[in-house]
Amino acid sequence: MDFNFTEEQSMLRDTVASFLQDKYDFEKRRKMIGTDACRDPAIWEAFANELGILGAPFSEELGGLGGGAIENMIVMEEFGKALVVEPYLGTVVIGGGFLKHSGYAGAADLIGGVIEGKTIFAFAYAEPQARYTWQDLKTTAKKDGAGYVINGHKAVVVGAPWATHLIVTARTGGGQRDADGVSVFIVEKGAKGVVTRDYPTVDGQRASEVYFENVSVGADALIGVEGKGLPLVNKVIDEATAASCAEAVGAMRQLHAGTLDYAKQRKQFGTAIANFQVLQHRMVDMFMNLEQSVSMTYMATIKLSEDDAERAKAVSAAKVQIGKACKFVGQNAIQIHGGMGMTDELAIGHYFKRATMIEGLFGSVDHHLRRYETLSFDKAA
Amino acid sequence: MNLEFSAEDNAFRDEVRAFIAENYPEQLRGKQDEGDDLTKDDYLSWHKVLAKKGWVAPSWPKALGGTDWTSTQKYIWSEELARADALPVLPFGVVMVAPVIYTFGTPEQKERFLPKIYNGEEWWCQGYSEPGAGSDLASLKTKAERFTGDDGKEYYLVNGQKTWTTLAQFADWGFFLVRTDPTAKIQEGISFLLIDMKTPGIEVRRITTLEGGHEVNEVWLENVKVPVENRVYEENKGWTCAKFLLAHERSGIAGVARSKRGVEKIRDMASNELGDDGKPLIQDADFKRKVAELEIDLTALEFTELRTLASESAGKGPGPESSLLKIKGTEIQQRLTELALEAAGPYGAPYLRDLGDNAKIGPDYAVGRAGAYFNTRKTSIYGGSNEIQRNIIAKMVLGL
């Protein structure tokens, strides 16, 4: 049983951390978010060329760092600590996940593009009617000669404004909520018939409503086996969920550390508020939530390589812990900061907002409790 | 023991419900839920309708414009206002400074200020908190030094900084706690001053809150000349006024009627939002359970408030038990915004503030849910944080 990181992994963490401290501090981030593009392209370029982290989970043959889920976890935690909005999750974790697990013919080229910083993916899976049921799909991909024609409306596609390519779930068969008939496609964002309405999100990112109006794609757009895509989708979403847990841990570390700092400096009634036992116990409870979240993130990341049921159960368990922790740590960070916690000026509120969004990302606490229950109690012995 | 409304109470309910339905300004209805900032005129439009009717200040003495309603009638009135999603009358003038003026003020002060508060002609803000004086309000440092002006009149020269001053950007006047005796024990050197916000030396600076809105401000005072006749009550006895005002601020703070309306809205939302099984979320066992628990908690608060009102009618003023109403009331308000954001699902993420009417992304019920959740974190902090409120109960009720 080993929870140690290798020397390379520690170096990866240190490199990312020190780059972000230098180039992505809170005020720099605020400026970037305030631009129309909401980001500075030099950052992604640095990720690609200076740090090489866009290759973190890809094999060395493909030009990557030869890592996997643990490397993604390390990068995402550092990103959470700095509130990075760059599309690593969509591109490296999700895009990379689909390309690595599906045997897709064009994978090597696309991965090459990702590592170079030229290819950016956004995952268009959610739909207006579907809440957290990934197989609830009204988007259709009808066979058209050798290719397909895609029609539908994808909701809240995070990172779509910055993407070069979209990964789209669509129905090639079956009823709206059937497990069978789900297919996955890669579509160039600039393809004819792809219409987007871009908007900011409450936590400083960008997303789009994406409309597919008779979008024609070739046979080579299909990832995996036609109509049998749901297990692949579930696997990649679980990997993305584990990575998001890591990001949440990073955000919670800052929420907690920031609160400790504030409470030690803020004086009322002649003493630092950190001296009041009620607040001390609160900060201890925040600490416990944080530590349990670290543990569950490690557990879920390690178990990503298990079979479908084990992996799903582990990821859901982690997301339940992290979801609850995000709420507790976030809310109490604001509370202990008092009025200052309510301002846009301080970073603490921005961490709270991001933690709140991660709480619901890829499924609420209730959703994951139910999935865990189904896997733990309802399956036949 | 009796939980029934009388025939007279029911008739009263019908009367006020009809009045609200017929007179609530149309332009306000939709604007509020969107979560965008309201204008000064928006806030005042309803106030002026109520002032004309004579219903803007039900708790004032009848002679000054109050309604002489029983506590049951006041309770019905707040239920009907909540039911109609009516904007509350801004409390700073009518509910906060006015009772201080009519209780502690001179006849001249009452005549000068009360009618314009009543009619909504003058907008008030509250200059209490300072960067160094939050929970420890009594440690405030804004100072007021007395001097005789060139005109022979007596003034205070005020210097300092107030913060979290709600809607000061619209204010005509402010009531400020200032230090007039820096040598006395901290609560014994404070005075209560009424200050014209147009006085030279006053600067109001916007504070943006984390959901992006503009509700609160910093107020900077540099060599602000305030006539001594604008002081309410005796010099250095202002803390008495402040305590009186804080006790008044706390009753009504339970917000039961509005929270009931909040539960209704969640039920509505959840009837439209589809859950993971494709059926309305309100039928989802887990979600339903959470709504049930919240309703039960709210019922408990409602009856505790009714018991408090009953003992107030029997002659006892608002006591430290009102801290319970503040704690539970705000925790419930916060829980409501949590559940509403949860009900909104993935469409809780878009930030549509200031994007104008074109920005219809996702269902209407999801718009602004995240902003409301973030903004409502303030309720456990303001009006005396919930930690302070627990200290008050411990000390004043439990004798600990």
Give the gyration radius of chain B's Cα atoms.
22
Interface confidence (ipTM) of the complex: 0.96
- Whether A153 and chain B come into contact, CB under 8 Å, resolves to no
SS3 B130: strand
Residues of A in contact with B385 (CB under 8 A): 335, 338
Q: Which residues touch A341 (CB under 8 Å, ≥6 apart)?
A: A333, A334, A335, A348, A349, A352, B210, B377, B381
Asked if B99 and B227 touch (Cβ cutoff 8 Å), the reply is no
Report in angstroms the alpha-carbon separations of A23 from A43, A44, A204, B84.
8, 11, 17, 51
Residue recorded with tokens 């993971």 = B276
User: B358: buried, middle or exposed (CB in 10 Å: 19+, 13-18, 0-12)?
Assistant: exposed
User: Are B282 and B389 in the same domain?
Assistant: yes
- Whether B137 and chain A come into contact, CB under 8 Å, resolves to no
Among the listed residues A275, A277, A256, A255, the one whose alpha carbon sits nearest the alpha carbon of residue A265: A275
Asked if A315 and A300 touch (Cβ cutoff 8 Å), the reply is yes
User: Are B84 and B157 in the same domain?
Assistant: no
Tell me if B84 is assigned to some domain: yes
Residues of A in contact with B378 (CB under 8 A): 339, 342
Asked if A98 and A169 touch (Cβ cutoff 8 Å), the reply is no
Residue-by-residue pLDDT tens, chain B, 400 positions: 677 788 999 999 999 999 999 999 988 887 776 666 788 999 999 999 999 999 999 999 999 999 999 888 988 998 999 999 999 898 999 999 999 999 999 999 999 999 999 999 999 999 999 999 999 999 999 999 999 999 999 999 999 999 999 999 999 999 999 999 999 999 999 999 999 999 999 999 999 999 999 999 999 999 999 999 999 999 999 999 998 887 776 557 789 999 999 999 999 999 999 999 999 999 999 999 999 999 999 999 999 988 887 776 666 666 777 899 999 999 999 999 999 999 999 999 999 887 765 568 999 999 999 999 999 999 999 999 999 999 999 999 999 9
User: Are B388 and B258 in the same domain?
Assistant: yes
The helices-and-strands tally (H runs, E runs) of chain A is 12, 10
> Which of B63, B89, B115 is the last residue in one of the domains?
B89
- Whether A342 and chain B come into contact, CB under 8 Å, resolves to yes
User: Are B228 and B131 in the same domain?
Assistant: yes
For chain A, the straight-line distance linking the first and the last C-alpha, in angstroms and rounded, comes to 28
Q: Report the C-alpha gap between B349 and A205 in whole angstroms.
A: 10
User: Are B214 and B321 in the same domain?
Assistant: no
Q: Report the C-alpha gap between B46 and A226 in whole angstroms.
A: 60
Q: Which residues touch B201 (CB under 8 Å, ≥6 apart)?
A: B158, B221, B222, B223, B224, B225
The domain that contains B259 carries what CATH number?
Answer: 1.20.140.10
Quick one: pLDDT at residue B249?
64
- Whether B388 and chain A come into contact, CB under 8 Å, resolves to no
> Which of B42, B73, B89 is the last residue in one of the domains?
B89
Asked if B320 and B396 touch (Cβ cutoff 8 Å), the reply is yes
Which amino acid makes up residue B174? G
Residues of B in contact with A155 (CB under 8 A): 346-347, 362
Tell me if B1 is assigned to some domain: no
Residues of A in contact with B361 (CB under 8 A): 197, 199, 209
Q: What is the pLDDT of residues A97-114, one digit of tens each?
A: 999 999 999 999 999 999
A132 vs B132, B276, B370: nearest CB: B276
User: Are B232 and B271 in the same domain?
Assistant: no
Find the residue in B nearest to A207 (Cα): B350
User: Are B204 and B284 in the same domain?
Assistant: no
Quick one: pLDDT at residue B245?
86
Residue B347 is classified by DSSP as G
Tell me if B222 is assigned to some domain: yes
Rounded to 5 degrees, φ, ψ at B351 are -105, 105
Tell me if B110 is assigned to some domain: no
Which amino acid makes up residue A254? Q
Report in angstroms the alpha-carbon separations of B257 from A188, B88, B119, B299, B377.
52, 12, 25, 11, 19
User: Are B258 and B375 in the same domain?
Assistant: yes
Count of the separate structural domains present in chain B: 3
- Whether A330 and chain B come into contact, CB under 8 Å, resolves to no
> And the tokens for A267?
């004086």
Q: Are strands A165-171 and A121-124 parallel, antiparallel or unpaired?
A: parallel
Tell me if B96 is assigned to some domain: no
User: Are B349 and B269 in the same domain?
Assistant: yes
Q: What is the pLDDT of residues A21-75, one digit of tens each?
A: 999 999 999 999 999 889 999 999 999 999 999 999 999 999 999 999 999 999 9
Residue recorded with tokens 């925790």 = B331
Quick one: pLDDT at residue B315?
65
Quick one: pLDDT at residue A181?
98
> What domains, with CATH codes, occur in chain A?
7-119 (1.10.540.10), 123-227 (2.40.110.10), 231-378 (1.20.140.10)
Q: Report the C-alpha gap between B29 and A162 in whole angstroms.
A: 37
Find the residue in A nearest to B165 (Cα): A339
Among the listed residues B357, B368, B353, the one whose alpha carbon sits nearest the alpha carbon of residue B269: B368
Rounded to 5 degrees, φ, ψ at B301 are -65, -40
Quick one: pLDDT at residue B253?
79
Helical (H) or strand (E) element with B318: none
Query: Mutate which of A85, A138, A202 to test chain B, going by most B C-beta atoms within 10 A?
Result: A202
Quick one: pLDDT at residue B246?
77
pLDDT at A380 exceeding the cut of 60: no
User: Are B375 and B348 in the same domain?
Assistant: yes
Query: Mutate which of A199, A283, A326, A342 to test chain B, going by most B C-beta atoms within 10 A?
Result: A342
Whole domain around residue B232: which residue ranges? 124-236
Report in angstroms the alpha-carbon separations of B228 from B112, B149, B181, B187.
15, 11, 15, 20
Q: What is the pLDDT of residues A180-237, one digit of tens each?
A: 999 999 999 999 999 999 999 999 999 999 999 999 999 999 999 999 999 999 999 9
Asked if A179 and A168 touch (Cβ cutoff 8 Å), the reply is no
User: Are B282 and B200 in the same domain?
Assistant: no
Helical (H) or strand (E) element with A154: strand A147-158
User: Are B258 and B218 in the same domain?
Assistant: no
Tell me if B300 is assigned to some domain: yes
Count CA atoms within 13 Å of residue A183 on its CB side.
26
**Contacting A residues, span 189-248, partner chain B, CB-CB under 8 Å:** 197, 199-203, 207, 209
Q: What is the pLDDT of residues A228-267, one digit of tens each?
A: 999 999 999 999 999 999 999 999 999 999 999 999 999 9
The domain that contains B193 carries what CATH number?
Answer: 2.40.110.10
Tell me if B373 is assigned to some domain: yes
Count CA atoms within 13 Å of residue B189 on its CB side.
16
**Contacting B residues, span 46-85, partner chain A, CB-CB under 8 Å:** none
Q: Are strands A267-268 and A271-272 parallel, antiparallel or unpaired?
A: antiparallel
Residue recorded with tokens 């006047």 = B173
SS3 A170: strand
Tell me if B112 is assigned to some domain: no
Strand locations in chain B (E): 124-127, 143-148, 154-162, 173-179, 190-196, 202-207, 216-227, 231-232
